[in-house]
Structure 1
């Protein structure tokens, strides 16, 4: 690229020099006669004619060598100057290329931080730095997720292995009790695996989009989880209007179910409340889920959407889930180009607001259609 730019600069300079010399030559041809008469100066203007002198031929003999020298100088100057100028112009690109090679080797902490005024190269470098920062955060999140998922999956397997060893080494042990515990541990492992599959599907974004009414999903989720709410003494209140969103019905139902389940489980031990509201906004469908509960700090709430993260105050029980509920909600929301907002309530508990794109407007039909 530097050679190409150098040749381009030199070629343009040579072309401009040729145009300038051609303009000078045309000017001389226009104002200088082809031939001139020679007279004896001693005789005055009316002296005897001594001959005719070819002015243009003599001028060409003088002009051509000078023009060739000027073009040679412009060629050398254009090549040297173009090489230096191209090097300075491509210096930012060299830094960006070096940063790319460094990132390709696995080092995502490197940043270009290109100085100078804001031009195309600066915008490219800033965009590359932003991409590196997002990649670094994503890789770190995936590493934490893999470590946590391995730990979560290892726990039920280790418990199952312990129960089997107990049953083998202690023939007098009640097998029904061991089978019940194995069933519970196996059910938890299945729930965790299914949650991981849902999380992977939401991350890949491989689903068909269609108009979905969030109010109907709320109704279905609350009916499904009503026995759990009654068991825990939690009252569910629903309100709102029809809220059409655009996405996967199965994934959005999973999102709604996770939010309602999370609000029921992480609530007050007695007389807790869950409020669910659906409404429409400008080109959006809004789902709000609020629940009472213990007071949460903003720092703790900010980490709740990470996989396997729970607030420190929360007690793990048989309904606590796999720690992927809000992580799945976040991934499904992002896959639908929506936004997720978590806010701690002043009286305790959590307020979750999900905004999803509304279905695209259908073209109006004419009377003939």
Structure 2
């Protein structure tokens, strides 16, 4: 925003300090003047015009005192204002660096807690989060480019084979192209969903997470049976506020992830919902290979995969848990991933609860 130039804050504070000192001095001199008029001065009591004599004696001293106070107020105010505004100068310099793209700089204002240091600490926290967010977006863009480039490269290779090798089975090439194209479409749709959830551009309404869990389980039941995985559901009504479509996508991703990352045979998935004092909870657990806490902490990053899937024909695009995390954050919730002692994972989504009698 373009603004007209004006006096600096330091000059304003200096003039304020000097003005305050001048007013205080004038009030003090006025008090002395009243005192001299009410209590006769021994050296002037025999003057014919006592009041005029008091003025002649008092005026030079008053002028000298006010002049001194003015100079003292200006000089002292300038120094004090500079010391008081020094932290603000550091904050301004850091802001300019951040505007120029340097997000690694931190103010780290020393000293005890006060308003300036609270502002500096809040700004440092904002810079840290912004730097982490941008770094995450850069990694995401690089990974997305790599993931999208792979099916495109495969499609190009298949088309080259079909063009240069007429003896190749056309039906086989078409089937492979269809598979590759389907994966590219799924990846693109997942990226769009991730972007939509991150922007929070959705209508909020009352949602029962237990119904979302029931619908997701029914949808994926055939996949679970095909992979030899048993799904067990339990819980109670869990009302929250959010997007039904996004929360269904969240639940579906969790159940799908629990099915495909499971034991080769006789695996189990547990889906449960519950109510806490101020939140509702959706928990999805599964059997499977052992996962370290270090690996679990990275699984919500885009294109991160923890273990091999039971079946490759249902391999996702590596955005399942990343979408879950984004949808959870967009609904002001928390996502927790905990490895199970016997193998597999426990994933908990906690969202703000609403009263069962509340419509909005």
State whether residues 35 and 55 of structure 1, in contact with CA within 8 Å, keep that contact through their aligned partners in structure 2.
no
Alignment of 1:161-310 (within 5 A): 161-310=156-305
Q: Deviations over 1:203-233 (max 9, x none)?
A: 0001111111111111111111111111110
* Aligned equivalent of 2:6: none
| Runs (5+) with no aligned partner, structure 1 | 39-51, 365-369
Residues in 1 aligned to 2:248 and 2:357: alpha-carbon distance in whole angstroms: 24
Q: Is the 8 A contact 1:234 1:273 kept in 2?
A: yes
Whether 2:131 is the aligned partner of 1:123: answer no
**Residues 179, 97 of structure 1: CA spacing in aligned structure 2 closer, same or farther, 3 A cutoff?**
same
CA drift at 1:57? 1.4
1:234-261: CA deviation from partner (whole Å, max 9, x where unpaired): 0000001111111000000000000000
Q: CA deviation at 1:96?
A: 0.4
Does the aligned pair in 2 maintain the 1:212–1:245 contact within 8 Å? yes
Matched residue SS, 1:111? coil
Contact (CA 8 Å) 1:337, 1:357: kept in 2 or not? yes
How many residue pairs end up in the alignment?
350
Cα distance 1:194–1:37, how it changes in 2: closer, same or farther (>3 A)? Answer: closer
The DSSP-based 3-state class of the residue aligned with 2:314 is coil
Q: Distance in 1 between matches of 2:201 and 2:278?
A: 23
What are the Cα deviations for residues 36-74 of structure 1, in whole angstroms up to 9, with x where unaligned? Answer: 885xxxxxxxxxxxxx62222111101011000000000
Residue 28 of structure 1 pairs with residue 36 of structure 2: yes
1:333 CA displacement: 0.4
Q: Cα distance, 1:314 vs. partner?
A: 2.7
Matches of 2:21 and 2:304 in 1, distance apart? 65
Give the Cα separation in 1 of the matches to 2:358 and 2:257. 39
Of 305, 308, 314 in structure 2, the residue corresponding to residue 314 of structure 1 is 308
TM value normalised by structure 1: 0.92
- The gaps in structure 2 that reach 5 residues or longer are 1-8
Distance change >3 Å, CA 30–CA 157, structure 1 → 2: same
Q: Is the 8 A contact 1:234 1:271 kept in 2?
A: yes
Q: CA deviation at 1:129?
A: 0.3
Match for residue 20 of structure 2 among 12, 37, 40: 12
Answer yes or no: is the 8 Å Cα contact 1:108–1:135 preserved in 2.
yes
Partner of 2:351: 356
The alignment partner of 2:313 has SS state of: coil
Q: Shift of the alpha carbon at 1:359? A: 2.7
Q: For residue 145 of structure 1, what is the aligned residue in structure 2? A: 140
- TM-score where L is the length of structure 2: 0.94
Q: Is contact 1:32-1:56 (8 Å) kept? A: no
The worse-fitting range, judged by mean Cα deviation, of 219-228 and 2-11 is: 219-228
How far apart, CA to CA, are the structure 2 residues paired with 1:224 and 1:176? 31
**In structure 2, distance between residues paired with 1:35 and 1:72:** 26
1:171 Cα offset (Å):
0.6
Q: Structure 2 vs 1, CA of residues 363 and 295 (structure 1 numbering), >3 Å: closer, same or farther? A: closer
Bigger radius of gyration, 1 or 2?
Answer: 1
